[in-house]
Amino acid sequence: MFVGRVRLLSVMTAASTARAYHIGTAGVPWGKEEVAAWRAQFATPKRSYQGEVVDKIEALRESFEVTQYGALPCDPERYPLFSLRTRSWDASKPCVLVTGGVHGYETSGVQGALRFLQTEALRLAPHFNILVAPCVSPWGYENIQRWNSDAVDPNRSFKPDGAAEEAQALRRHLLSLGVASWTCHVDLHVRVNPYT
């Protein structure tokens, strides 16, 4: 029994050592150098935002009102930000918001939001105003990362002075719609990835 505990502690210590990150110093906040070193690891995207997300949005233009509500400063051409709204928007109906890809590596959230638009949203449109932002953090999607390109977690940035443009652009977009109260917000944080 005692020997077993000692072995367990040894394994835990080894595991802690193995988790030490290769950039920066444990317990010391990153500066610009560390962020630049981290970002340099992602010179080549691992998958295509255009092919896996934007092309699917384009195919939905006939059924939904598509709005480009911003673009990521790190590469505005490559990373336009889109929402899709039901066309029968009516102030008398409850408003529903669906967001996917706040964490770009959560593939199922992005593809699930798109699948919802493809399969169910129109059926619900007579009863609800529905707005879907299927991929809030497209740089994170392409690079299969939780953080954005500045090593900031977009999910911690929806406050007024939040650091991530992914969150700020969506926040401005939602405020511009003048919705007094969202009846429901489904934020899809689902990570079932074929890539990781």
Contact residues for Zn ion, defined by CB under 5 A: 103, 106, 189
Q: Are 146 and 140 in contact (CB under 8 A)?
A: yes
Residue 158 token pair: 């929806």
Q: How far is the CB of 103 from Zn ion (least distance, A)?
A: 3
Please report the DSSP string for 41-59 in residue order. Answer: GGSS-SS-HIIIIIHHHHT
Q: Nearer Cβ to Zn ion, position 106 or 142?
A: 106
Could you tell me the smallest distance in angstroms from the CB atom of residue 187 to Zn ion?
A: 8
Q: Please state, in angstroms and rounded to a whole number, the distance separating the CA atoms of residues 3 and 50.
A: 56
CB 60 to Zn ion: min, Å? 24
Closer residue to Zn ion in complex, CB, 39/103: 103
What is the residue whose two structure tokens read 């003048």? Answer: 178
70 or 140: CB nearest Zn ion: 140
Residues for the chain: how many in total?
Answer: 196
